[in-house]
Structure 1
């Protein structure tokens, strides 16, 4: 991976996030700017933390901006366009491998499985993975968690994604669903609620879950520069405490209750779709029930990266994962 993608996107992300104020709100809460890699019901606990007043309860005013892509999210964090990023932990390894003086660390895990689904066009017979051979597969960005897990699952089913498929992975993350809807590809890997909406509109059919197929993996976590975590330790602890409380809230409430809670963040998504999506994620244990990113999960992440040929170097868990905030949260 090259560091140049960070430089290229610097100005773009700065323009998106530059208007975010660092000033302390008048109500005395601490402002925290979060850049999320995409906007999805997959991140329900994050939105619950806002809608149920959990962040506010912990003295935080959290502002979320969608940056649409792991590279853009990391750029936002590195350029101080955001205090915290919500993204796949693999991005921290890429930056560390380039010799970063101020490493970016994962400090609170949000999801623990892949959140994408395989959508097929004109699927009229029972699905099996061999049906993908020789077909055009619209995948995700190379080096990102969705693509890596996708390749890991395909390999597990005896499919070489670079030899047995016509693999397309040069379409910008935000445009993948539109490309598929316009006729590109026979299969596509999509997040929710996009996958379910496409199915409801008759544009495709969900035939498999990459989350169920790949098992437990630290898919999405909150990251921040080491310097930010040191200078703002109290804020990081409050943030992690709130995330843990939100994760517990999601774990103990029904899909319908969660969908209604986060509805203001998904005004264009019908409530029945939201309920269906959240229930699907809950049933496959996608939502973390605590924010601790364990060492075995970290090692599994690197195994998946290695399988995809994008692991620049193996990095010990202790170097890029800071668990002290999450451990303190769960002890309360």
Structure 2
């Protein structure tokens, strides 16, 4: 089920380019890529075209559209077209596997299983830390992971990334995430109401919805993917089609440079990015809420090279713990195989 059932984002099927978007004031600070200045300015020739799959209404993807409109990708010699890939890891994989996109942004926990199964995509740079939350009703009295034993947690899909994230957290806390906890799946828009009606004790959800539901229903935050076992872990990662990488390695490196610069800028100016996003894409979120939500993300986590390999290894080990990754898979070998080291 698509989480977009009944709601159509404002720019479906439309290319988002620098020329097509409104560009506000402000000068973007240049962020060096691991101490190396952008390499395109001294080159002759046209920018490299890249179709980048994204999810338009996901708050954590808003920096990508901002980067297109403000010319950050262009500064790195890239002509980026944002391709709306859908609303899940499955649709992201389909967009890349069918050649509708050259690269894409997605949750690391969504990437690992398809990559284990042979998807011809390489992960090459991280964007930021976690953007999912585990929230409980005050009526439940739950304040810790241990307090969830015997309780019901609701999410929007039987295999949603928030569910997997907090199954991992429960397992690391010594709680069987299947036997000791009851999981319930409901339509995306009913996750908060299910807890409010007392039909579940807690919810696992993505931002900005988790952030909004916490405020709307006065929920208690039990865990998130920025702290605890997830501290210093990357959440969203860019992947690129194998053939595109082989033919355009330097362009992919420049895409990594631009991605890091965009997210570093967002970390310093979340209000500016939120304002642009609301004015141009009209996501139906209050400006103050989106600014606070974007400001809560950890933007200095964008591993590349060996650091990314380590992050993928950790993710594979975590998914193996909850039986998503096959027991026979070697997480270290998998991580080496599915990442591209742009530093080599």
Q: TM-score range by the shorter chain?
A: 0.7 to 0.9
Task: From the superposition, tell whether residues 242 and 96 of structure 1 become closer, same or farther in structure 2 (CA, over 3 Å).
Answer: closer
- Separation (CA, whole Å) in 1 of partners of 2:155 and 2:217: 20
Structure 1 position 109, deviation (Å): 1.3
Task: From the superposition, tell whether residues 168 and 273 of structure 1 become closer, same or farther in structure 2 (CA, over 3 Å).
Answer: same
Task: From the superposition, tell whether residues 35 and 123 of structure 1 become closer, same or farther in structure 2 (CA, over 3 Å).
Answer: farther
Root mean square deviation, CA, Å: 3.2
Q: Secondary structure at the match of 1:211?
A: coil
Is the 8 Å Cα contact of residues 211 and 293 (structure 2) preserved in structure 1? yes
Tell me which residue corresponds to 1:221.
Answer: 237
- Separation (CA, whole Å) in 1 of partners of 2:114 and 2:210: 31
TM-score (norm 2): 0.73
Is the 8 Å Cα contact of residues 244 and 290 (structure 1) preserved in structure 2? no
Tell me which residue corresponds to 2:171.
Answer: 155
Please list every run of 5 or more consecutive structure 2 residues that lacks an aligned counterpart in the other structure. 1-11, 20-45
Task: From the superposition, tell whether residues 91 and 41 of structure 1 become closer, same or farther in structure 2 (CA, over 3 Å).
Answer: closer
Instruction: Indicate whether 1:268 and 2:284 are aligned.
Output: yes
Larger mean Cα displacement after TM superposition, 132-141 or 64-73 = 132-141
Task: From the superposition, tell whether residues 93 and 158 of structure 1 become closer, same or farther in structure 2 (CA, over 3 Å).
Answer: closer
Instruction: Indicate whether 1:168 and 2:181 are aligned.
Output: no
- Separation (CA, whole Å) in 2 of partners of 1:294 and 1:97: 16
Tell me which residue corresponds to 1:201.
Answer: 216
Tell me which residue corresponds to 2:84.
Answer: 65
Tell me which residue corresponds to 2:143.
Answer: 127
Instruction: Indicate whether 1:189 and 2:207 are aligned.
Output: no
Alignment of 1:12-23 (within 5 A): none
- Separation (CA, whole Å) in 1 of partners of 2:218 and 2:14: 37
Alignment of 1:109-124 (within 5 A): 109-111=126-128, 113-123=129-139
Tell me which residue corresponds to 1:242.
Answer: 258
Tell me which residue corresponds to 2:97.
Answer: 78
Structure 1 position 94, deviation (Å): 2.9
Task: From the superposition, tell whether residues 157 and 219 of structure 1 become closer, same or farther in structure 2 (CA, over 3 Å).
Answer: same
- Separation (CA, whole Å) in 1 of partners of 2:225 and 2:115: 27
Task: From the superposition, tell whether residues 99 and 29 of structure 1 become closer, same or farther in structure 2 (CA, over 3 Å).
Answer: closer
Task: From the superposition, tell whether residues 92 and 193 of structure 1 become closer, same or farther in structure 2 (CA, over 3 Å).
Answer: closer
Tell me which residue corresponds to 1:13.
Answer: none
Task: From the superposition, tell whether residues 294 and 108 of structure 1 become closer, same or farther in structure 2 (CA, over 3 Å).
Answer: closer
Number of residues of Structure 1 aligned to a counterpart in Structure 2:
295
Is the 8 Å Cα contact of residues 123 and 339 (structure 2) preserved in structure 1? yes
Tell me which protein shows more helix as a share of its residues.
1
Superposed CA deviations along residues 157-199 of structure 1, whole A, max 9, x for unmatched, are: 3322211221125x5xxx3342442545221111111122223
- Separation (CA, whole Å) in 1 of partners of 2:288 and 2:13: 35
Is the 8 Å Cα contact of residues 47 and 265 (structure 1) preserved in structure 2? no
- Separation (CA, whole Å) in 2 of partners of 1:39 and 1:205: 25
Superposed CA deviations along residues 263-314 of structure 1, whole A, max 9, x for unmatched, are: 3345411111012212222xxx355256555332122111101111111322
Tell me which residue corresponds to 1:105.
Answer: 122
Instruction: Indicate whether 1:54 and 2:54 are aligned.
Output: no
Larger mean Cα displacement after TM superposition, 158-167 or 134-143 = 134-143
- Separation (CA, whole Å) in 1 of partners of 2:240 and 2:90: 14
TM-score (norm 1): 0.76
Task: From the superposition, tell whether residues 46 and 56 of structure 1 become closer, same or farther in structure 2 (CA, over 3 Å).
Answer: same
Structure 1 position 319, deviation (Å): 1.3
Is the 8 Å Cα contact of residues 136 and 142 (structure 2) preserved in structure 1? no
Is the 8 Å Cα contact of residues 53 and 85 (structure 2) preserved in structure 1? yes
